[in-house]
């Protein structure tokens, strides 16, 4: 067989729920809903295969899930445990094929080289990868594997069958093999982009596949459309590397934190976590952004440019000024982010206010506090008062495109 593929993409099936089943073997084969938290009627962040068959999915609330799936078991998400399993999966995969890129907690890709690109050999490697995860990590952790000449086609192939599927996509079987998919089933096409395509007279995947690349560029409003279409057709596309621009954290308020003062202390706590990450990852920030989500749907915010800094004390002073500008009633959620990131070596500070102070300066003190908290436990040394209600994993939650590291759970 002459067909060749260059990318293997693997997608862990129902990852959060599978981790819960791996941690509690008695849950194997039972419907499980993994919750965003431990509050009353919180929503599911994920559902096991068994629960999905009953219609439970991301965003389903507990009462609705019980109605859809009597006997469902709920567990709160445990971000640190999920990260531990993620790294165990990477180690297992590396025994078969080196991991090339990690896209999220449950999606990664590998490059195929030389004879590995021959389709029969690639399929053999994909099956070996699935077996390695089951054997070396846990039998609850199944993954779907996709093969293709581009990452997009490999990712699409991985999504064709869950759990545990293994499929390939090549130009000679396209677009027929994916014609049954909706436009927004394609990775990278949001509901908004689907609506733009429909308005432009592109009703389905077949029509999209047949577009002129320049027409795709016009619909997207950028070269992204042409790149997407060419990759969908199996052409090699060089995507520019994305630059890190922001570090941020958010939290929905609950219990005693859902007061004006509780919300302010949550905002400060989120900023402390973001600033610690800033130092650990070797960046300085040049802007601070604070936004609120109100219970009536409003979304007030305050932001501004600041001098390049890693100084938590300075950032907290700035945050307090921003906070005073915002309405402080019926706050539902708080978000804080540091923007305008620059690698430490690329930034220059004020001559009289050193960007990175010596060890006896304010940034040096911040670093010393970081070290103490990492060594002796979270909040051993605090930057002021903590929120009245403790919330697990503040600033250390798994997010799309970001996987926390061990330090996130200790700072």
pLDDT digits (tens, 9 = 90+) for 142-170: 999 999 999 999 999 999 999 999 999 99
What is the predicted pLDDT for the residue at 360? Answer: 52
Q: Say if residues 103 and 45 touch (Cβ distance below 8 Å).
A: no
Q: Say if residues 383 and 313 touch (Cβ distance below 8 Å).
A: yes
The DSSP secondary-structure symbol of 386 reads P
Query: Residue 49 pLDDT > 60, yes or no?
Result: yes
What is the predicted pLDDT for the residue at 52? Answer: 96
What is the predicted pLDDT for the residue at 322? Answer: 97
Torsion of CA 99, 102, 107, 108, to 10 degrees: -20
Residues 6+ apart with CB under 8 A from 76: 34, 35, 36, 37, 38
What is the predicted pLDDT for the residue at 348? Answer: 62
Considering the segment(s) 174-240 as one domain, its CATH architecture is Orthogonal Bundle (1.10)
Residue among 109, 183, 89, 104 at smallest CA distance from 150: 109
Residues 6+ apart with CB under 8 A from 149: 4, 5, 6, 7, 170, 171, 234, 236
The two tokens of residue 283 are: 């960046």
What is the predicted pLDDT for the residue at 347? Answer: 66
Q: Mean pLDDT lowest for which of 119-128, 205-214, 220-229, 237-246?
A: 237-246
Query: For residue 176, what are the β-bridge partners?
Result: none
Query: Residue 341 pLDDT > 50, yes or no?
Result: yes
Region 243-266: mean pLDDT is: 91
pLDDT band of 401, cuts 50, 70, 90: confident
| HSE value, Cβ hemisphere, 13 Å, CA-based, for 96 | 27
CA–CA gap between residue 147 and residue 156 (Å, rounded): 9
Query: Right CATH number for 246-409 from 3.20.20.70, 3.30.1490.100, 3.40.50.1860, 3.40.640.10?
Result: 3.30.1490.100
pLDDT band of 272, cuts 50, 70, 90: very high
pTM: 0.85
What is the tens place of the pLDDT at every residue in 180-230?
999 999 999 999 999 999 999 999 999 999 999 999 999 999 999 999 999
Region 49-56: mean pLDDT is: 96
What is the predicted pLDDT for the residue at 237? Answer: 87
Q: Say if residues 384 and 294 touch (Cβ distance below 8 Å).
A: no
Q: Say if residues 174 and 186 touch (Cβ distance below 8 Å).
A: no
What is the predicted pLDDT for the residue at 238? Answer: 83
pLDDT band of 346, cuts 50, 70, 90: confident
Q: Say if residues 120 and 3 touch (Cβ distance below 8 Å).
A: no
Region 121-134: mean pLDDT is: 98
Residues 6+ apart with CB under 8 A from 259: 388
CA–CA gap between residue 166 and residue 126 (Å, rounded): 7
CA–CA gap between residue 266 and residue 335 (Å, rounded): 9
Asked if the 1-170 domain carries CATH number 3.30.70.270, the reply is yes
What is the predicted pLDDT for the residue at 367? Answer: 94
Residue with tokens 């993409």: 9
Q: Are strands 283-294 and 342-343 parallel, antiparallel or unpaired?
A: antiparallel
Q: Say if residues 27 and 173 touch (Cβ distance below 8 Å).
A: no
Between 1 and 333, residue with greater pLDDT: 333
CB neighbourhood size of 175 (10 A): 18
Query: Residue 45 pLDDT > 80, yes or no?
Result: yes
CA–CA gap between residue 405 and residue 386 (Å, rounded): 23
Between 349 and 248, residue with greater pLDDT: 248
- Percent of residues, the chain, with pLDDT higher than 70: 96
Residue among 365, 387, 381 at smallest CA distance from 279: 365
Region 249-255: mean pLDDT is: 91
Where do the DSSP E strands lie in 316-368? Answer: 331-339, 342-343
Q: What are phi and psi of 104, to 5 degrees?
A: -160, 180
Q: Name the residue ranges covered by the structural domains of the chain.
A: 1-170, 174-240, 246-409
Query: For residue 34, what are the β-bridge partners?
Result: 46, 75
CA–CA gap between residue 117 and residue 372 (Å, rounded): 49
What is the predicted pLDDT for the residue at 352? Answer: 42
Residue with tokens 């700035």: 318
What is the predicted pLDDT for the residue at 351? Answer: 40
* DSSP H helix total and E strand total for the chain: 13, 13
Between 68 and 376, residue with greater pLDDT: 68
Region 15-43: mean pLDDT is: 91
- The chain-wide mean pLDDT, for the chain, equals 92
What is the predicted pLDDT for the residue at 157? Answer: 98
pLDDT band of 1, cuts 50, 70, 90: very low
What is the predicted pLDDT for the residue at 356? Answer: 47
């Amino acid at each position: 067989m002459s067909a060749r593929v260059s990318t293997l993409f693997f997608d862990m099936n129902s990852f959060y729920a599978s981790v819960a089943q791996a941690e509690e073997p008695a849950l194997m084969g039972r419907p499980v809903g993994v919750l965003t938290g431990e509050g009353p009627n919180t929503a599911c962040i994920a559902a096991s295969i068994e629960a999905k068959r009953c219609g439970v999915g991301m965003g389903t609330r507990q009462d609705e899930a019980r109605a859809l799936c009597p006997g469902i078991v709920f567990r709160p998400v445990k971000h640190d445990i999920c990260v531990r399993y993620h790294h165990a999966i990477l180690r297992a995969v590396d025994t078969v094929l080196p991991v090339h890129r990690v896209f999220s907690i449950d999606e990664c890709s590998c490059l195929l080289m030389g004879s590995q690109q021959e389709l029969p050999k690639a399929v053999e490697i994909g099956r070996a990868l699935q077996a390695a995860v089951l054997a070396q990590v846990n039998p609850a952790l199944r993954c779907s594997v996709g093969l293709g000449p581009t990452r997009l086609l490999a990712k699409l192939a991985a999504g064709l069958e869950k759990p545990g599927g293994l499929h390939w996509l090549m130009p000679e079987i396209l677009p027929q093999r994916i014609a049954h998919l909706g436009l927004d089933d394609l990775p990278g096409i949001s509901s908004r982009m689907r609506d733009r395509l429909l308005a432009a007279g592109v009703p389905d995947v077949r029509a999209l596949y047949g577009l002129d690349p320049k027409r795709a560029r016009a619909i997207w409003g950028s070269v992204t459309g042409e790149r997407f279409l060419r990759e969908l057709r199996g052409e090699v596309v060089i995507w520019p590397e994305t630059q890190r621009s922001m570090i941020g954290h958010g939290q929905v308020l609950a219990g005693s934190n859902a007061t004006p003062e509780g919300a302010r202390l949550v905002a400060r706590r989120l900023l402390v976590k973001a600033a610690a990450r800033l130092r650990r990852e070797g960046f300085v920030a040049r802007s601070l952004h604070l936004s609120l989500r109100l219970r009536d749907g409003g979304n007030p915010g305050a932001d501004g440019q600041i001098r390049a800094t890693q100084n938590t004390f300075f950032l907290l002073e700035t945050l307090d000024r921003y906070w005073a500008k915002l309405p402080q009633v019926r706050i539902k959620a708080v978000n804080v982010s540091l923007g305008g990131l620059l690698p430490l070596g690329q930034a220059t500070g004020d001559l009289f206010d050193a960007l990175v102070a010596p060890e006896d300066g304010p940034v040096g003190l911040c670093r010393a506090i970081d070290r103490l908290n990492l060594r002796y436990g979270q909040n051993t040394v605090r930057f002021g008062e903590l929120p009245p209600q403790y919330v697990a994993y503040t600033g250390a939650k798994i997010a799309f495109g970001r996987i926390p590291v061990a330090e996130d759970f200790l700072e």
